């Protein structure tokens, strides 16, 4: 028997380590000793949970419930354990007389440190282990500059990423290949117990309506997207009211669907698309644009693997410290969606209500925090980590540092989003804004996009419960440029 340790791969199909464990080909020094039966395991690790948040844990629990149902349909089960994987995995291997433990690699600094210690613990216990690249198409370190360095500019990385062949999805194990977890040895291990609740794990219910998890939900989203919206993706993706994005981000974060399966769906879509991928405005170009977003996800994962310190430190160095302000009142207004900038507030309220935010708006609110409020990007990153169901360390640190002009391929410090222009351009009828800021439901689009220009009396007449802008964008833009010029050491 082999053990498969689930982490960010909460699925049965297109799961490389699970597929390899079912073959038993690399399980032990004596590979012939393996029988190909797999015991799937998930461990609630207190150290990892300490970095989690209610929306993410709620999504994860729903995904685990779905995963367990999949295993039961195959005649097996999912073993659920709470504890330190350094201790629990050797105990599980001993209890089931397992030949080896298999898992898919994770690339954050915390995960790599944990996995290194797990390898040592299994070695000490005399248990073989095998870790596989699964989470991305191309493993970190495999796409480098001609000088052998990791890329800090996406354009060159993206070209190589697009040019490389992508693997086909892995088959799910056949029925009967999954071990029955009800037969527990005398090793005092929990078996077919109910999944813990949020409360059991020390979390309160999220304020957001977290989307459904599991492979069925992921495939439903993928199929619907590739049936229609993917062919207009390049045109629609920046407009939050159009629903032009895939909304697959939490599923990719938790691995409820495999990246190879997603790629295969885009291959099928490309085969049906009109036009050429390099023909602007064509359906094929829209499919290619969606694929570029998958490449961005991998770019940031590669950066995180090469520079795990980007979680807390600026990727890009300046001669002097950036003089971020400290303003608890402004930070609170930003978090609550009460800044007086309608598109910013709508986005921040979407985050609280759905544990999700549209990608264009993530850039807008990040620019507003760092360039209008002049607050440290880490404040925003921490809030996203707390509220997003799809929080991904690489994506979020990459996005926040891009907006703050401190990261790879970063937005130049003197190019600053105008939040009113962004709202008018990407939500021209204020449809999205009105959905999330009901105080403005009776205001016209012109009044909403010109909110900063209205007098106090006009604002009181139009929407008395909605606040005036908490800062003047023009003034703060000049202050932000000056702040960065001081950091650069400009005279």
**From residue 309, how far is each of 94, 298, 315, 333, 382 by CA, in Å?**
36, 17, 8, 29, 15
Residues 218-228 have a mean pLDDT of 98
Is the confidence at residue 430, as pLDDT, over 70? yes
Residue with tokens 């222009």: 421
Question: Nearest CA to 58 among 258, 192, 195, 191?
Answer: 195
The answer for residues whose C-beta is within 8 angstroms of residue 198's C-beta and 6 or more apart is: 54, 57, 58, 61, 204, 205
Asked whether residue 298 carries a pLDDT value surpassing 80, the answer given is: yes
How deeply is 394 buried, as exposed, middle or buried, from its count of CB atoms within 10 A (0-12, 13-18, 19+)?
buried
What per-residue confidence (pLDDT) applies to 109?
Answer: 87
pLDDT tens-place string over residues 117-158: 999 999 999 999 999 999 999 999 999 999 999 999 999 999
Query: To the nearest whole percent, how much of the chain has pLDDT over 70?
Result: 95
The confidence score (pLDDT) of residue 176 equals 82
DSSP secondary structure code for residue 462 in this structure: H
Q: How confident is the model at residue 354 (pLDDT cuts 50, 70, 90)?
A: very high
CA distance 491 to 485: 8
Q: What is residue 36's predicted lDDT score, i.e. its pLDDT?
A: 58
Can you read off the two tokens belonging to residue 9?
């791969």
CA-to-CA distance for 129 and 28, rounded, in angstroms?
A: 8
What's the pLDDT band for 345 if we cut at 50, 70, 90? Answer: very high
| CB 348, CB 335: distance < 8 Å | yes
Q: Which of 275, 287, 276, 296 is nearest to 407 (CA)?
A: 296
Over range 240-249, report the average pLDDT: 96
pLDDT at residue number 30: 42
Q: Is 119 helix (H, G, I), strand (E, B) or coil?
A: helix
Mean pLDDT for the stretch of residues 255-274: 98
pLDDT digits (tens, 9 = 90+) for 6-36: 999 999 999 999 999 998 754 443 433 345 5
Residue 183, pLDDT score: 53
In the numeric block, the tokens 């070695």 are attached to: 123
SS3 34: coil
* pLDDT on residue 188: 47
Alpha carbon distances (Å) from 451 to 239, 340, 355, 384, 462:
20, 8, 27, 26, 10
* Mean pLDDT to the nearest integer, 298-308: 96
3-class secondary-structure state, position 138: coil
Count CB neighbours of 145 within 10 A.
Answer: 13
Supply 382's token pair.
């921490």
Are residues 18 and 56 in contact, defined by beta-carbon separation less than 8 angstroms? Answer: no
56 has a pLDDT exceeding 50: yes
| Sign of the four-CA dihedral 225, 231, 232, 234 | positive
Domains and CATH numbers, the chain: 2-134 (3.40.50.620), 215-306 (1.25.40.80), 328-488 (1.10.579.10)
Between CA 111 and CA 140 the distance in angstroms is 14
Instruction: List, for residues 470-488, the tens digit of each pLDDT value.
Output: 999 999 999 999 999 999 9
Q: Can you tell me the distance from the alpha carbon of 283 to that of 294, in angstroms, rounded to the nearest whole number? A: 17
The share of the chain scoring above pLDDT 90, in percent, equals 88
Give the tens place of pLDDT for each residue, 377-416. Answer: 999 999 999 999 999 999 999 999 999 999 998 778 898 9
Write out pLDDT tens, residues 158-176. 999 999 999 999 999 988 8
Place of tokens 């690339």: 107
Q: What is the DSSP letter of 341?
A: -
pLDDT score recorded for residue 491: 65
pLDDT of residue 32: 36
Write out the two tokens for 55: 């929306």
Question: pLDDT averaged over the chain?
Answer: 93
User: CA-CA distance, 463 to 406, in Å (whole number)?
Assistant: 37
Cβ(354)–Cβ(209) under 8 Å?
Answer: yes
Average of per-residue pLDDT across 260-279: 97
Give yes or no for residue 186 having a pLDDT over 60. Answer: no
**What is the mean predicted confidence (pLDDT) over 244-262?**
97
Least-confidence region, from 105-114, 269-278, 286-295: 105-114
pLDDT score at 25: 54
**Once rounded to an integer, what is the mean pLDDT over residues 69-85?**
92
Q: Are 253 and 391 in contact (CB under 8 A)?
A: yes
21 within 8 A of 38, measured Cβ to Cβ? yes
Q: Indicate the Cα dihedral angle 428, 434, 435, 438, nearest 10°.
A: 170
Strand partners, 238: none
């Amino acid at each position: 028997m082999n053990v498969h340790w689930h982490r960010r791969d909460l699925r049965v199909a297109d799961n490389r380590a699970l597929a390899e464990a079912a073959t038993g080909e690399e399980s032990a020094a004596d590979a012939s000793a393996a029988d190909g039966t797999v015991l799937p395991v998930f461990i609630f690790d207190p150290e990892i949970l300490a970095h989690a948040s209610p929306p993410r844990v709620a999504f994860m629990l729903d995904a685990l419930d779905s995963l367990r149902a999949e295993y039961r349909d195959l005649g097996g089960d999912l073993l659920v354990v709470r504890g330190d994987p350094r201790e629990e995995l050797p105990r599980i291997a001993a209890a089931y007389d397992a030949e080896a433990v298999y898992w898919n690699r994770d690339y954050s600094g915390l995960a790599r440190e944990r996995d290194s210690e797990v390898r040592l613990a299994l070695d000490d216990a005399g248990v073989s282990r095998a870790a596989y690249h699964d989470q991305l198409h191309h493993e970190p370190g495999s796409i480098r500059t001609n000088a052998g360095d990791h890329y800090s500019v996406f354009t060159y990385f993206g070209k190589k990423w697009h040019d490389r062949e992508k693997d086909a999805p892995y088959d799910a194990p056949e029925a009967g290949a999954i071990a029955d977890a009800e037969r527990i040895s005398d090793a005092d291990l929990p078996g077919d117990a109910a999944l813990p609740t949020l409360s059991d794990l020390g979390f309160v219910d999220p304020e957001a309506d977290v989307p459904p998890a599991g492979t069925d939900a992921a495939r439903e989203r993928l199929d619907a997207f590739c049936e229609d919206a993917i062919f207009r993706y390049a045109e629609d993706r920046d407009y939050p009211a159009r629903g032009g994005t895939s909304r697959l981000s939490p599923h990719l974060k938790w691995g409820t669907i495999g990246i190879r399966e997603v790629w295969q769906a885009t291959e099928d879509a490309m085969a049906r698309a009109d036009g050429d991928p390099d023909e602007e405005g064509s359906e094929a170009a829209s499919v290619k644009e969606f694929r570029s977003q998958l490449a961005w996800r991998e770019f940031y994962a590669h950066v995180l693997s090469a520079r795990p310190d980007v979680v807390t430190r600026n990727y890009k160095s300046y001669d002097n410290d950036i003089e971020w302000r400290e303003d608890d009142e402004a930070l609170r207004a930003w978090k609550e969606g009460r800044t007086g900038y309608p598109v910013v507030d709508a986005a921040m309220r979407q985050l609280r209500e759905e544990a999700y935010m549209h990608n264009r708006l993530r850039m807008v609110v990040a620019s507003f925090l760092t360039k209008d409020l002049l607050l440290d990007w880490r404040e925003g990153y921490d809030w996203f980590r707390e509220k997003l169901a799809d929080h991904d360390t690489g994506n979020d640190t990459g996005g926040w540092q891009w907006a703050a002009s401190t990261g790879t391929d970063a937005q130049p410090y003197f190019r600053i989003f105008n939040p009113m222009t962004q709202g008018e351009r990407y939500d021209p009828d204020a449809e999205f804004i009105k959905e999330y800021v009901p105080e403005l439901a009776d205001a016209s689009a012109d009044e909403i996009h010109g909110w900063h220009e209205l007098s106090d009396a006009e604002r009181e007449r139009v929407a008395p419960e909605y606040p005036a802008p908490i800062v003047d964008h023009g003034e703060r833009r000049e202050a932000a440029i000056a702040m960065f010029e001081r950091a650069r050491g400009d005279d």
